[in-house]
Structure formats: structure tokens, C-alpha cells
Amino acid sequence: MRSLKVIHLADLHLGKSLKGPFGLNLTLDRMKAHERAWEFILDRVREEKPDIIVISGDLMDSANPSTEAEELGMKFLTSLGELATTVLIPGNHDSFKRFKLFKPLLERFNVVMVTWEETFSLDSYIISLDRVGLIAIPFTSPSRLRSLTVLSDENWSTERALKEYAEAMRRLSEFLTRELTSRLERYDHTIALMHVYLTNASLGGSERLIVDWGMYPDDLPRVDYVALGHIHKPQRIDTVRAKAAAYSGAPWQLDFGDGITVRYSGGSLKVTGTDQDETRWRGRGFIVAIFQGSTPSLKFIEVPSKRFINVILKKKDLDDFLRDLPNISLDDGYPLTEAWLKIKLGEGDISIQTMERIIKEFPSIVRIEVQSVSQTSKKEPEEREIFGRSEVALKYNSPLEMYKLYYKSEHGKEAPRELLEILENLLQEIHFKV
């Protein structure tokens, strides 16, 4: 059995917007920061000399990315393809139609893009790369699950798939695993790519998930390594099926949800709560999976990149903080002036003139928020049981659920299934969070 080295990336979210005060658009500045981080990634990939590179979804942040974001994405992919065969699946933020458009072009650059086809074909989702067998499962919505004939259940409605998403994903995983196993004599190693939320995953803070669309970890494909995307925090996943499974996490922090929170008071800075021990304290990166036998060892490579930091302080400390800012660093030496900062004033108010002065003098400060008494005394969100674990319940309905409520109030009956399917497909087209 030969050795194998795999680079595992996911969740780049290129083109993700970043708004500063007064609607200032800092998205292009953010892409420049991504380009600098990408040069580091390419250098490390060259050093590692991988056999295969996999990207487990969400290359883009939008189904309709800007020209600049799309150009950057194509540059990334072609650069990787020069170093090793690169396999990419779409995530829930990517456009499946755009994947199909670019697929034949990128094949010329040693990049394999796998997306859902109109007609299900095993050869589209089980890929042979020399002596490596790879299962590629793009992000799968309930409507997509219903359309898959491999589930062979004529009663599998969109509504049922939504309610029993985990069961449907288990059946899809088992079907593809059986087919891969029947070809095992061809392979030294087996890998699966998936963009899915697993019920034992620890969230990074910037994800926008529908926790009902999740999968149990013990229903993953039976392969040597499952390269996961969708969760932005790097982590191993415990599973009885795969020999190893992990989320690589995003290669850089995506928004203030990923960033740590610090409190400034009396001239000192203190990291709050569990952030002292969280992965958010560090940067993000990617995984190198090294196969000497059938079970891989996993190495995490941190990518130095610009961070998001939430700073809580009282208005009376604001002037002192701004005076000290050029000399303040986190405990690991990272200077606050190199980050994107969100200032949260715990009390008091701030004038527009003062905000303008601060923004002009301190370009690292991209947001200033004033927390009112009502914000600080909000009732805690109720909890509910999902997949046997406690999750915070969303305080709003999805667009699909809102339409169901509207239709029932107007017509006195449930919305027709066919109408809901049309709406769901439209929402998926524009990647609204249904």
C-alpha cells in the first residue's frame, strides 16, 4: 500500500461582504487580505507536495459573486491545480449552475468540479484518482434528496425529506459506500468529501445553519478519511464508521462571529468567557492528511491572516482605549491595529461627529455599536431538542415557513406541495436561507 498526502480546504467564502460604519464597503480590502493569506497557503502546499487537494464546499459566499470574487476564486483553483489534482464540491453558498459552467474549463487545469447532475450517475460521484477512490457528495437540500432516485421511495416528499433529513442522508451515504466498496480492489485509499452539518460538531460562530438539516456522525461513509465542510471551526469528528473525519474549518476568520471578545477597562485588556480556550483565539487554516497505512494522521496548518476582534468597553474608557490602541496586543502578540475591530459601548451614547473622528483616525475600527439597556436585558432564547441535543431555537421563521403561514391565513388550508417545491427551488437558486 503506497503512502498518500491530501490537502483539505473548505469554506473560503470569497466575496463575503464586510461593511464598515456609515455603510462603507470594505469587501475589496478584505479580498486583498485573502490574497495575502492565499500566497501563504500556496507556499505551504508547495512544501507539502500533496498527491491530491480537496475543497469541501463554499468556495464563494454567494450564488451571484462579484466579478472580483469570481476572478480570485478561479485564480486560486488554477494555482492549486498546477500543484496536484484538485477536487471541489459546491456548498450551500455556491451556485450549482456556475459550477457546471466552469467545470469543462477547469478540467483543463487539473481541477475536478463535482456538482449534482440532472440525471444521477455513479461515475459522477465516485471518482477514481489512480489508486484512490473518492466519494464526492455536494451540499444536499431536502428537495435534492427527494429527486435522487437512489433513495427509491416514491413517497419521499420534500416535506418528509426536510423532517427526516438525517435519515435520507444516511441512505445516500450507505448507497455510495456500498458502490465504492464493490470497487475496493482498485484502491489503496478511500476518501469522502461532504458539505454537511454533523450533530456533534462544535460551531465556529460565523455559520448560518439550519440545524434541522443535519446528519449523525455515525452515518458517514465507511472510508479512510471524510473531508468535511460547512462548519468554520477546525475539528476532528468522532465516528464509528470512517477511520478519520474532520472539518478543516475556514482558512481565515469570516466575520465577528469567529472573532474573540475582549473587555477593555482601566487600561488593561481581558479576554472574556470561554474565548480564552476556544479555537477562535487562534487563526484558521487547513488540514494535511498523511496516509502511511489506511488510517491517516492529521496535521493542522494555521494560516496567518487578519482577525476579527470584538472590544467591549464603557464610554468613559473610550478615549483611554483609543490612546492605548496603537500599543495594545493580544497575549499571543497579535496587535489590535492589524485586526478588524468592532467596538461595543456598554453604556452611554456617541455622536456622529465622534464616530467620524474615530473612523478617520483608526482605520482598524470598522464598527461601533451602542448596547442599550433593553439589549443587555434581553430574555435568553428558549432551547429545544434537535437530534437529541440542546440547540438554541431560532426566533424567526424561514421564508418557506413564513409563506406557509401566509398561505394558510389567506386560504384557510395548507399550501399545495407543488407550490412549496417551486418556492423552495427559487430560494435555493438565490441561496436565501430557507
Express each pLDDT in 252-299 by its tens digit.
Answer: 999 888 888 999 988 788 887 655 545 444 568 999 999 998 789 999
Both 62 and 170 in one domain: the answer is yes
Q: Is residue 365 part of a domain?
A: no
Final residue of a domain: which of 303, 333, 361?
Answer: 303
Final residue of a domain: which of 272, 303, 334? 303
Q: Is residue 371 part of a domain?
A: no
Cβ atoms within 10 A of the Cβ of 392, count?
A: 12
Report the number of distinct structural domains present in the chain: 2
Specify the CATH number for the domain of residue 138. Answer: 3.60.21.10
Tell me, what's the pLDDT at 379?
A: 41
Give a yes or no: residue 62 inside a domain. Answer: yes
pLDDT for residue 161 is more than 70: no
Q: What is the dihedral of CA 250, 256, 258, 262, to 10 degrees?
A: 150
**Mean pLDDT confidence for 92-114:** 92
- Same domain as 140, residue 22: yes
Q: Is residue 177 part of a domain?
A: yes
Instruction: Give residue 20's domain range.
Output: 4-254+281-303
16-20, 251-255, 321-325: least confidently modelled range: 16-20
What does the pLDDT look like over 22-34, one tens digit per residue?
A: 666 777 678 888 8
What pLDDT score was predicted for residue 29? Answer: 77
Q: Are 104 and 225 members of one domain?
A: yes
Residue 429 has pLDDT above 70, yes or no: no
Predicted TM-score (pTM) of this structure: 0.82
pLDDT range class, residue 4, cuts 50, 70, 90: very high
**What's the chain's average pLDDT?**
82
Q: How many CA atoms lie within 13 A of 239 on its CB side?
A: 28
**Residue 275 lies inside a defined structural domain of this protein:** no
The reply to whether 219 and 105 lie within a common domain is yes
Tell whether 239 is covered by a domain: yes
- Proportion of the chain above pLDDT 90, given as a percent: 44
Q: What's the pLDDT score for residue 154? A: 56
On whether residue 340 sits in a domain, the answer given is: no
Q: Has residue 215 been placed in a domain? A: yes
Read off the pLDDT of each residue in 392-414 and give the average, rounded to a whole number.
Answer: 63
